Amino acid sequence: MSRVEEQFKKLSKLWPDFESRSGQIQMANSVEQAFASSEHLIVEAGTGVGKSLAYLIPAAISALEGEEIVVISTETKALQDQLIRKDIPLVSQILGQEVKAEIAMGASNYVCKRKLGNVLTQGTFGPEMMEHLNSFKDWVSNSESGRRQEYDGYASPDFWSKVTREADSCLGRSCPNFSHSFYFLERAKWQKSNLLIVNHSLLAAHIASDFNILPDFKKIVVDEAHNFPEVLGNAFRIELSSLEIQKLLQGIWNSQKKSGLGARLNSPKINDLTNHAGEKLFLCFNKVVGELPLNFYGSQRIRRPLKMDGGELEAALDSLQEALLIELKKYSKDSDEIEEKEIAMELEMSSGRIGQIAEGLHLFRTMDEGERVYWADPPNTKTKEMFPKLLTQPLKSETILREVLEPRTESMVFTSATLSTNKGDLSYFADRIGRLPSRSKLVASPFPYEKNALLFLPKDIKDATESAERNAADLSRYILKLIELTKGGAFVLFTSNKSLNEIIETIRPLTDLPIISQLEMGPEAAKNRFLAEKDAVLFGVSSFWQGVDIRGDKLRSVILTKLPFQPPNDPVLEARSEKLKEKGGNPFKDLQLPYATTVLKQGFGRLIRSEKDTGIVSLLDSRIWTKSYGTDLINSLPPAKRVTEWNQLKLEYSKLPNYSSGEAV
Ligand code: SF4
């Protein structure tokens, strides 16, 4: 019996309800072996395998024995909460030893006492915070972590941005608050932890910052790994927003208000150079508008270097950066004077950011850096972004994984319920992580899908490409029938906001069931309301296709309105497709279809979260019948009983175990 098997045996004794499953033990053995032999591992573990304990037990043993940190990265906060509150205390109990676990968050989640002090002294907290200030201060005095997630009073987004830590303006050891700085006290705990829990964005930011955020680690488990490659690519993205550049310049010198860093420096030269850069900024982005085809609705690729203003803004920013660096020589971060330290820090931060923007502009004018994809997002009047935003990121996150992360680690375990495409094929995910030499394992879900779940696949839905109007009418008709059949308790999931808004308008007047829209109240509030209301129907988009875990009778129907293909004009997908084609590959088969399969499996996975969950997953997209790939997509889903006719569905639904929601219509 392996060491991890012994622990699972103890678990059965400690917790009589615990049912040891062979799949879970197999996975735990594989993780233990990967850690012991410094190998990488890809494990797809179907819903219900109990994968978190299957990796936590070997991870904790490895961390305790090796006196090292094992990092666990997740995509969702819900999973982090489950690990820290439920699973890790259980692991400590069975190991008979405390497993120290901490959740690490990005810098901007922590209150910065220095910034808060300045805001309070200068009275710049904003009128909206007037009546909430005392309760905020009370919370700060009593809080151990200073994490904004723990504050349950009101604080405006603007206030948060003024009082939370910014990596490049933090004084670190030179700060008078250093010894009791929330962020640094937390970091000290991270350093002493056995298991350090992070989210994918923080892990990706750590990699993008040249491994400067988290403590050293050699072993890592990436749970909910299906989205990690994408998050990693995004962390290396460069964004040039005229609005953000303008804000940065105004922070250096605002000539109208006579405020900003320049006011503290008393340097007419810096003020003049900042004004000059501000003028060039608008000229430059005006030229960009002239160079890009008019497009107010979506992203558009930039395929050749932009002329922009011939480098005038870059030159203006270079001069400003130079002047800031000269000024910086007059100040020291190690000074005893807090005022001087702060000026030094602000000069360093501003000059650094100005330099990054100049480099970014240069990149768009030359496109001379490796394999990157470049595009522009349209202006956004809601955010007052008047010009297109310029964006670029590396084309392949797999290269980053293979060339940047892999050499720094001994063992990486990637796991999720949805890594494979058809018939357990893991090659798509293996490609996405750079074909790292790794073992792989598939552990099937133990849930009785054949008995508990129905997969409804109607054949009479008009294809949207043939008639958008007929398609919308067919969708509305089926959605209405389906939500009445289960008497609510349904998710209706869309791939676009537009489609959700159209259909919800049709459905609302036709039913008495409570209808909730994610787009009207945001995902968190929509989910809470769905849980609070009896028999509710939640209309959601991408964030409800994955990561939402609602067990029991509350959710008894998941209606997927469309196959979740990525929009073909997504700039990164488009660029990857072109590259693949050049090499003789088939972008639809090798990129789009595997992506859609993974998301479809995630969408299906919302329904059955425990052995006793029952219900219907409906897929209202006729392409599963008319396109050659349809069969493969359906075969990739768990083995629910398939139904195509409405009357048959009503009958089968009435026969589901634990069926308790009334008569079928
Ligand atoms: S050390 Fe950094 S984060 Fe902490 S209070 Fe000082 S400036 Fe703020």
Residue range 533-582, pLDDT digits in tens: 999 999 999 889 988 889 889 999 999 999 999 987 889 999 999 999 99
Q: Which tokens in the block code for residue 616?
A: 């219907």
DSSP secondary structure string, 134-202? Answer: HHHHHHHHH-SS-BGGG--S---HHHHHHHB--GGG--GGGSTTGGG-HHHHHHHHHHH-SEEEEEHHH
Is the CB of 175 within 6 Å of ligand 1? yes
Which pLDDT score, from 0 to 100, does residue 661 have? Answer: 45
Residue with tokens 């989910």: 527
Give me ligand 1 centre to Cα 51, in Å: 38
* pLDDT range class, residue 663, cuts 50, 70, 90: very low
pLDDT computed for residue 427 by the predictor: 92
With the most atoms of ligand 1 within 8 angstroms of its CB, the residue from 147, 181, 348 to mutate is 181
Q: Is 177 in the pocket of ligand 1 (CB under 6 A)?
A: yes
Instruction: Give the percent of the chain with pLDDT over 70.
Output: 98
Angle (CA) 34-38-43 rounded to 5° is 30
Q: State whether the beta carbon of 623 lies less than 6 angstroms from ligand 1.
A: no
Share of the chain above pLDDT 90, in %: 77
pLDDT in tens, 337-351: 888 888 998 999 999
Q: What is the pLDDT of residues 141-176, one digit of tens each?
A: 999 999 998 999 999 999 999 999 998 888 888 888
pLDDT digits (tens, 9 = 90+) for 268-318: 999 999 999 999 999 999 999 999 876 767 888 999 999 999 999 999 999
Ligand 1 pocket, residue 112 CB under 6 Å: yes
User: Any idea what DSSP says for residue 522?
Assistant: -
To the nearest 10 degrees (0 to 180), the angle between helices 51-66 and 88-95 is: 60
Q: Reply yes or no on whether the pLDDT at 107 is more than 50.
A: yes
Pocket of ligand 1 contains residue 341 by CB under 6 Å: no
What the block records as the tokens of 297 is 């609705």
Give the mean model confidence (pLDDT) for residues 445-452. Answer: 94
CATH topology agreement for domains 3-100+193-233+397-443 and 449-655: yes
| Whether residue 172 has its Cβ less than 6 Å from ligand 1 | yes
144 half-sphere exposure, CB direction, 13 A CA radius: 2
Does residue 665 register a pLDDT over 70?
A: no
Range of weakest confidence among 3-7, 111-115, 271-275, 635-639: 3-7
* Residue whose tokens read 């005038």: 312
Distances in whole angstroms, Cα of residue 385 to Cα of each of 184, 261, 287, 389, 456: 35, 24, 16, 8, 44
Split at pLDDT 50, 70, 90, the class of 54 is very high
Which residues touch 411 (CB under 8 Å, ≥6 apart)?
A: 34, 35, 38, 39, 40, 41, 218, 219, 220
Query: CA-to-CA distance for 46 and 61, rounded, in angstroms?
Result: 24
Ligand 1 centre from 113 Cα, in Å? Answer: 6
- Asked whether the beta carbons of 207 and 397 are under 8 A apart, the reply is no
Give the residue carrying structure tokens 């008319």.
626
Q: Output the CATH code of domain 3-100+193-233+397-443.
A: 3.40.50.300
What's the 236 CA to ligand 1 centre distance in angstroms?
Answer: 26
Quote the pLDDT of residue 658. Answer: 65
Atom of ligand 1 nearest to the CA of 171: 7
Q: Which distant-in-sequence residues (6+ apart) come within 8 Å of 389 by Cβ?
A: 239, 240, 241, 242, 376, 377, 380
Pocket test for ligand 1, best of 108, 110, 111, 112 (most atoms within 8 A of CB): 112
Contact 44, 415 (CB under 8 A): yes
368 contact partners, CB below 8 Å, separation of at least 6: none
Distance CA 411, CA 125 (A): 46
Q: Domain locations in the chain?
A: 3-100+193-233+397-443, 107-180, 242-384, 449-655
Closest ligand 1 atom, CA of 107? 3
- Collapse the DSSP code of 495 into the 3-class scheme (helix H, G, I; strand E, B; otherwise coil) and give the result: coil
Secondary structure (H, E, C), 445-484: CCCCHHHHEEEECCCCCCCCCCCHHHHHHHHHHHHHHHHH
- Residue nearest atom 3 in ligand 1 by C-alpha distance: 112
Which of the listed residues 105, 110, 119, 178 should we mutate to test ligand 1's pocket, taking the one with most ligand atoms within 8 A of CB?
Answer: 178
Structure tokens at 536: 């509710």
- Mean pLDDT (the chain) is 92
Burial of 578 (0-12, 13-18, 19+ CB in 10 A): middle
Cα of 278 to ligand 1 centre, how many Å? Answer: 30
Instruction: Classify the complex by whether its ipTM is higher than 0.85, answering yes or no.
Output: yes
Mean pLDDT on 39-48: 95
C-beta 183 within 6 A of ligand 1: yes
Question: Residue 296 has what pLDDT?
Answer: 67
Mean pLDDT, residues 92-106 = 95
Choose between 309 and 332: higher pLDDT: 309
Classify domain 449-655 by CATH number.
3.40.50.300
Check pocket membership of 114 for ligand 1, CB cut-off 6 A: yes
Check: CB of residue 235 under 8 Å from CB of residue 205. yes
What's the whole-number mean pLDDT along residues 51-69?
96
661 or 41: whose pLDDT is higher?
41
220 vs 39: CA distance, rounded Å: 11
Nearest CA to ligand 1 atom 2: 170
Q: Is 170 in the pocket of ligand 1 (CB under 6 A)?
A: yes
Does residue 491 register a pLDDT over 70?
Answer: yes
| CA 178 to ligand 1: nearest atom | 1
Q: Could you tell me the CA-to-CA distances from 195 to 73, 100, 325, 546 in Å, in that order?
A: 10, 6, 41, 25
